[in-house]
Amino acid sequence: MINNQDLAQENISIDIKLLLEAIYLKYGHDFRNYSQAHLKRRILHRLMLSNINSISEMQYKVLHEPEFMQEILTDFSINVTEMFRDPAFYLTMRKDVLPVLRTYPYIKIWHAGCSTGEEVYSMAILLEEEGLLDKTLIYATDNNETVLKVAKKAEYSTENLKNYQKNYEKGGGKGKLSDYYEEKGSVIKFDPRFRKRIVFSEHNLVTDNVFTEVHLIICRNVLIYFNRNLQNRVIKLFHDSLMKEGVLGIGSKESVDYSRYGDAFEYINKNQKIYIKKSGNDE
């Protein structure tokens, strides 16, 4: 028997679907295959902050007030990141992945969903310390142009430096993090030699396709915001973008195991969610 609570949940779910359809039809932003749980949290949060009583009222406001749509876009986009986030991931990269990449004449890396760029500069530092930066090109993409602007500037607040220095050490850093930036007042700016090896550009994992073949893809804490359909699409995109025996690194709470392409990858390190593309799987 369906009780009142189930009915209310079902209505919320329908209202959310209608809101997402309206956003897509009016503005072309496609959140229809993002995780319902994530969107519901963000929508209910916005409802609490505004003088709006229901999701259908929110839909009306979205359709008639483009400025409100901007607020919703900000609500839906979670851009939290940090330098050497989950340091053990970088330790594994150093120990198990870079020795393989070293054997290639050149290295191409794709950071998908790079946000404000902290993990991209972390990787560049790692490559520099392993003597590989000069033969590497990093493509770093996100669908949010505001965060990409920050990433391109390579400037960050000094506020989190202590934490970043700690992460760097735990990630196997060979020197001091301060060897790689200049401090000016309350900001640090990374050495321009890193910027020369990084191409930042807009790429939407929902709608865009493969843009180049790479040896390593890093896409952490992004799949978690997508539903199973979209995860399948994105994992296929990664599979198609990887060269033979290319490597994929995803977030600690994410997995390709249960996706349609789970069999096309095997673990290099299960704890760090680092996979290698199996050979013979090109369809």
Question: Which residues of the chain form contacts with ligand SAM (CB under 6 A)?
Answer: 77-81, 85, 113-115, 119, 142-144, 147, 204-206, 220-222, 225
Q: Quick one: the chain helix, strand, coil %, rounded to 5?
A: 50, 20, 30
Smallest separation (angstroms) from ligand SAM to the CB of 79: 4
Beta strands of 151-277 (E only): which ranges? Answer: 155-157, 181-184, 187-190, 198-202, 214-219, 242-250, 265-269, 274-277
* Amino acid present at 270: K
Smallest separation (angstroms) from ligand SAM to the CB of 234: 8
**For ligand SAM, the closer CB: 108 or 220:** 220
**For ligand SAM, the closer CB: 135 or 153:** 153
Alpha-carbon distance of 116 to 15, in angstroms, equals 32
Smallest separation (angstroms) from ligand SAM to the CB of 1: 39
Smallest separation (angstroms) from ligand SAM to the CB of 146: 9
Kind plus residue range of the DSSP H or E element containing 36: helix 36-49
- Residue 48, classed as helix, strand or coil, is helix
**For ligand SAM, the closer CB: 85 or 197:** 85
**For ligand SAM, the closer CB: 253 or 278:** 253
Smallest separation (angstroms) from ligand SAM to the CB of 95: 20
**For ligand SAM, the closer CB: 56 or 160:** 160
**For ligand SAM, the closer CB: 24 or 102:** 24
DSSP letter for 34, please: B
User: Residue 57: CA atoms inside 13 Å, Cβ hemisphere, count?
Assistant: 8
Alpha-carbon distance of 120 to 117, in angstroms, equals 5
Smallest separation (angstroms) from ligand SAM to the CB of 249: 10
Residue 215 class from Cβ within 10 Å (0-12 exposed, 13-18 middle, 19+ buried)?
A: buried
